[in-house]
């Protein structure tokens, strides 16, 4: 089980948000956002912020940092770390299972950058209905495998995608391709973009809060 940081908005939470950080960060990265969301008292929500494993990241010169999967180029072409992505998917599945045993009836998977990719990877394949998937400043990983692996249980899951129009790390065009791929496959994707880089803005936090209120109510 991944190590986690947890915050609860009230006693005996019946909803959970599992929020995955980006490359090189840790579970503390999005902890300060929770009070800014100003969620209603009911239902009480448990926010679970996992720490990704430490690993050497090829694209960063082999430096060891927290990452959900490796990032590397082969012959000048970025190649996806299939094994690493699927290993993180299984780790997040374990977190989902734990939240269910703790009484969470509605569960949202959320993530930023690499974390958002794992939220999409896991949520779209999860075998029971989720309350929502939130994918911030990210893209759809292993897109070619989705049609064969998607779970019918989450064909109608609400998906929030948000991205900075000036993102230098994951260009917004890569995110819109992912958005369009999901929409063509029949998924309900709410899209927002902002005049920012690879970050989170106050306007985006407001949109996240409104979306969470809807899917957790």
How crowded is residue 117: how many other Cβ atoms within 10 Å of its Cβ?
Answer: 27
Is 113 among the residues known to form the active site? yes
Q: How far apart are CA 162 and CA 33, in angstroms?
A: 16
Is 166 among the residues known to form the active site? no
Annotated active-site residue in 29, 70, 81, 167: 167
Q: How far apart are CA 109 and CA 134, in angstroms?
A: 6
- For 25: left if phi > 0, alpha if psi spans -120 to 50, otherwise beta; the answer is beta
Instruction: For residue 140, give the nearest of 182, 100, 89 by alpha carbon.
Output: 182
17 sits in which H/E element: strand 15-20
Is 151 among the residues known to form the active site? no
Helix axes 82-101, 114-123, angle to 10 degrees: 70
Annotated active-site residue in 26, 166, 198, 201: 198
Are the C-beta atoms of residues 49 and 27 closer than 8 Å to each other? yes
Q: How far apart are CA 63 and CA 156, in angstroms?
A: 39
Annotated active-site residue in 113, 126, 137, 163: 113
Which residues have a catalytic role annotated? 113, 167, 198
């Amino acid at each position: 089980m991944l190590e986690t940081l947890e915050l609860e908005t009230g006693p005996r939470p019946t909803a959970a948000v599992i929020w995955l950080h980006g490359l090189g960060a840790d579970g503390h990265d999005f902890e300060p956002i929770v009070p800014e969301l100003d969620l209603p008292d009911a239902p009480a929500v448990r926010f679970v912020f996992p720490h990704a494993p430490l690993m050497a990241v090829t694209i960063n010169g082999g430096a060891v940092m927290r990452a959900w999967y490796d990032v590397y180029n082969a012959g000048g072409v970025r190649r996806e770390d299939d094994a690493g992505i699927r290993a993180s998917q299984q780790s997040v599945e374990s977190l989902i299972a734990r939240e269910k045993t703790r009484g969470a009836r509605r569960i949202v998977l959320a993530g930023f950058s690499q974390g958002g990719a794992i939220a999409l990877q896991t949520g779209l394949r999860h075998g029971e209905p989720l309350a929502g998937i939130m994918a911030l400043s990210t893209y759809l990983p292993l897109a070619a495998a989705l049609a064969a692996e998607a779970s019918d249980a989450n064909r109608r899951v609400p998906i929030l995608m948000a991205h900075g129009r000036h993102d230098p790390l994951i260009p917004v065009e890569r995110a819109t391709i992912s958005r369009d791929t999901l929409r063509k496959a029949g998924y309900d994707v709410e899209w927002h973009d902002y005049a920012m880089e690879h970050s989170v803005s106050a306007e985006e936090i407001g949109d996240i809060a409104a979306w969470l209120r809807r899917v957790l109510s």
